[in-house]
A and B are shown apart, each in its own frame.
Chain A
Amino acid sequence: MTTVVPELGRQPEIVPPETAQSVLANGLRVVAVRSSRVPLVELRLRVPFSSAEPGHSARAWLLAETLLSGVPGHDRMGVAERVMDLGGTLTAEVDPDQLLVSGTVLAWYLDDLLALLAEVLTGARYPEEEIAAERIRLVSRLTAARSQASVRAREALRSHLFGEHPYSHSLPEVDDVQEIDAADLRAMHARRVVPAGSLLVLVGDIEPDRAVAACEHALAGWRGTPDPVVVLPELPGSVPLGPSLLYHRPGSVQSSIRIGGPALRRDDPRYAALQLANLIYGGYFSGRMVENIREDKGYTYSPRSRIEHGGAGSTLVVEADVATEVTAPALLELWYELGRLSTLRPSDEELANARQFASGTLAMSVATMAGLATTLVNLAAVGLDLTWVREHPRRLAEVTARGIYDLGVHLLAPKLLVAVVVGDATQCAEPLQAFGPWTVV
């Protein structure tokens, strides 16, 4: 790099915010953090929600879609009006690990939002007519989602990597949705939407101690005996053998290439090295993927790679949507760059740049209310807290080029990963044979 560019000053440290926490009598863990740039509060309630039962994903999705569709004395519209009167939002979503209720509210209405949340948690009604209507809407939305190449590619990669593991089913099956009725959801709510094991995070313009007390007051009536804790099996430690998969999408003008394989959890001693290896590969714009297949060859707009974390394990995911006619050449470059990273040390400059990016963006990710709230929940889901964030720059600083090299051969080598492609098979199946056998699905 040229010398006229101004040097950086010293990077600011991550200052721990004022925090209070407590485990309430009903078993709910509450974490309250002050951040007072604007008079708002961000709320996140995480309820562990994993299950290996068949059809769980469909029930969980429909429960999330109808959780806010009625409490005693208020129908769906009544609940929605109360949220809006507070100037707020309140939404619910699920993934294979958790039910997540998220809210934003003007700080002076926090008690009102907590009161409404308590009514939902203790008295969600799941009206039969709302369930019927939501079933229809959910089926339409699932169909629309799966018409997107990116959604199909994600499902294809996950089912190839995870087989029968519940993580294969991030979206429910339409047939499973059709069979669910209100009684199913009420039973699921009673068994699973319980305070023990759940976490409530508040970040905003609050006095943390008083906010914890407000939660204690509002949510004391939320009770329930949890089922035995459901621990999903670990994700497979290796990728499936056999042919790669090509999903035919007629008329697709691009091929969505996905490569994936097992990665490391955040608390693994080698995680910092893997995180930097991923950045150097394709985890940020300055990485090798962008330089190669976008800025040198113009094959793609937004290639990226990342490490996805879940309760059952972590996964490396590489993504590139490329013009159909360059499907095979683009895949060649993706494999080439993985091979290069698993057989040659990265340069000192590459390592230094990735390290600085990782610690700078980590600091910035907890510098917004919503970012801090989400980070706290994500860390808590895997048994970590902000200490991990504060100590992570030190772990990043200790990574060496040699460490990345040692790791690469065990995690990033092409033979340890698999590829799936969603595209027009009539156009790209034949050139892809250069990489070995493919099954067209």
Chain B
Amino acid sequence: MTIIDTTSPGVPVPTQVRRAVLDNGLRVLLAPDRSVPVVAVEVCYDVGMRSEPAGRSGFAHLFEHLMFQGSEHLPKLDHCRYVQSAGGMFNGSTHMDYTRYFDVLPSNALERTLFLEADRMRAPALDEENLRLQVDVVKEEILVNVRNKPYGCFPWLTLPGVLFESFANAHDGYGSFADLESATIGEAREFFDRYYAPANALLCVGGNFAADDALALVERHFGDIPHRPAPVRPDFSEPPPARERRAVVVDRHAPLPAVAAGWRVPDPIRDWDDYLPYLLLAEVMVDGAASRLRRRLTHVDRLTTSVRCYLGFLGDPFDVGHPTAFVVTARQAPGTTADDVLRAVDDEFATVARDGITERELRRVVTRLTTQILVASEPVLGRTQLLAALELRHGRAELLAELPGLLDRVDAEQVRAAAATITPDSRGVVELRPRDRAGEQERVA
């Protein structure tokens, strides 16, 4: 077991973290915080939708469901009951590059929670009956969130398909029904063996505990899980599109059209200094009614009823790897075309690229982002999740405390330079159209 003690500057998010690595390779990050009687436990496995094998779209998320179906000492549903009967809440979520399982509970339940997470890291109950049942549940999830819902998950399921070509980057991470239905329990076991090794996981614990006590409990419950080698994260990079690429999807429940555009951005890890200005650029464009795109599209030209702009397909700027995207998406006002909206968008980015932004705008978005980081990291669970994401992807949970300062050092010229890359010739565009009366096929992307 290796222990490294790190204390980060306490401004403005107070985060003292302590690291350890167990002999089986499990990385541990502890963030004690005595101010509230709550603990959060999160296990991140370093595998996400991008690592799904071709022909198995949706498998990472399906597997996440299987992790709730019982484990070595726990019959199905007991995990959930033990967390909830301790007064806590739990969930899991599948991302582009990782899958997380988290619990937040009154602090008297820390050891129980560590036991529960260790039990399924050691041996989840992977059986045929539960697999078939969870395929049904996931299909219902897709129906309720996507196919039966206007604008459901638009554009994150379809935009990658026009911005990327490799299966890893381009496919729909919720999965096709055909791929889900043909998944086998053997594949689930292989997926577990390969990707759910302790050496491929990070355990992050935040909240009301003493670090020494928590570390002893972690060792007690996770220490005997056998070592398996961690897979090497593949290089998912691919060349940016040489020209604009477009697709159309038809949404039979949407009353009005919508449009989304995506652009490739610098590597969030390797080119962090070039990546951060895009975060500020997104805020300049859409944060608040006074932001450039909202003012232009929604209040002046009245082309849209709402417009969003963010970094990462899931709006996840800090926990996504390369390659990722800068996204603009808008719900259109009646009588407008996607190109009306795109022309106005192009114009606004061209204006920033030409004239830059004002010092007041820059200060404003840095202040706004600082507030957002504080808001997100105030609850114990939110703080634990941010620390885990930064540690997993960037290897530096301390970035949470450093972010306000780093954002403050980005200058207006860097934001201008970022805007200059948001041009029509390199983007992917997806138009969402209400159902055509001629009976056009749904989701034809």
Contact = CB atoms under 8 A, between A and B. Distances in A.
Interface of A: 1-2, 4-13, 15, 36-40, 68, 76-81, 83-89, 104-106, 133, 136-137, 140-141, 143-144, 147-150, 251-254, 284-286, 291, 294-296, 298-302, 321-323, 352-353, 356-361, 363-364, 367-371
Given A144-B254, A364-B88, 7 more contacts: A2-B75, A11-B106, A39-B374, A40-B378, A251-B252, A298-B134, A369-B378
B1 interface: no
A278 to B, nearest CB: 14
B133 A360 contact: no
B240 interface: no
A105 B254 CA distance: 36
Nearest to B283: A84
A224 B377 CA distance: 39
Contact of B85 (A298, A299, A352): A352
A10 B150 CA distance: 47
Given A80-B290, A84-B290, A285-B84, A106 B371 contact: yes
Contact of B108 (A9, A149, A352): A9
B144 A321 contact: yes
A63 B304 CA distance: 21
Interface of B: 12-14, 33, 35-38, 73-78, 80-82, 84-90, 104-109, 111-112, 115-116, 132-141, 143-145, 147-151, 208, 252-256, 287-290, 295, 298-299, 302, 305-306, 331, 333-334, 360, 363-365, 367-368, 370-371, 374-375, 377-380
A10 B74 contact: no
A268 B39 CA distance: 32
B370 A40 contact: no
Given A6-B111, A364-B38, A88 B371 contact: yes
Q: What are the 3 closest A-B residue pairs judged by CB atoms, nearest first? A: A360-B87, A298-B136, A12-B37
Contacts of A370: 375, 378-379
A105 B371 contact: yes
A7 B367 CA distance: 45
Given A299-B140, A356-B86, A368 B379 contact: yes
B223 to A, nearest CB: 15
Contacts of A38: 12-14, 374-375, 377-378
Contacts of A352: 85
B74 to A, nearest CB: 7
Given A77-B290, A149-B148, A87 B370 contact: yes
Nearest to B380: A367
Contact of B112 (A5, A79, A137, A321): A5
Contact of B253 (A141, A147, A295): A147
A253 B143 contact: yes
A1 B82 contact: yes
A285 B305 contact: no
Contacts, number: 231
Contact of A356 (B85, B133, B147): B85
A89 B287 CA distance: 10
A62 B96 CA distance: 39
A353 B85 contact: yes
A147 B287 contact: no
B374 A360 contact: no
A12 B86 CA distance: 12
21 contacts: A6-B112, A37-B36, A38-B377, A38-B378, A39-B374, A76-B299, A77-B295, A84-B288, A86-B367, A106-B370, A144-B254, A147-B254, A148-B150, A150-B149, A254-B140, A295-B76, A295-B133, A321-B143, A323-B143, A357-B88, A370-B379
Contact of B288 (A80, A148, A286, A322): A80
A356 to B, nearest CB: 5
Contact of A136 (B105, B133, B302): B302
B87 A144 contact: no
Given A2-B78, A133-B302, A295-B133, A254 B143 contact: yes
B92 to A, nearest CB: 12
Contacts of A88: 371
Contacts of A140: 256, 305, 331, 333-334
B316 to A, nearest CB: 20
B183 to A, nearest CB: 15
Nearest to A130: B299
A76 B37 contact: no
B97 to A, nearest CB: 24
A321 to B, nearest CB: 5
Given A140-B305, A143-B256, A364-B104, A359 B87 contact: yes
Q: Which of A133, A360, A369 has the most CB of B within 10 A?
A: A360
Nearest to A105: B371
Contacts of B305: 137, 140-141, 144
B112 A8 contact: yes
B286 to A, nearest CB: 12
A148 B149 contact: yes
A264 B252 CA distance: 40
Contacts of A15: 37
A87 B38 CA distance: 28
Nearest to B13: A38
A365 B28 CA distance: 27
A253 B147 contact: yes
A84 B368 contact: yes
A300 B150 CA distance: 19
A87 B368 contact: yes
B9 to A, nearest CB: 15
Contacts of A149: 148-149, 253
A38 B12 CA distance: 7
Q: Which of A10, A133, A285 has the most CB of B within 10 A?
A: A285
A285 B133 contact: no
Contacts of A11: 87, 106, 108
Contacts of B143: 253-254, 301, 321, 323
Given A106-B367, A137-B305, A285-B84, A298 B133 contact: yes
A193 B116 CA distance: 51
A334 to B, nearest CB: 15
B77 A87 contact: no
Contacts of A10: 108
B85 A357 contact: yes
Contacts of B108: 8-12
A4 B37 contact: no
A256 to B, nearest CB: 8
A363 B105 CA distance: 10
B297 to A, nearest CB: 12
Nearest to B136: A298
A104 B371 contact: yes
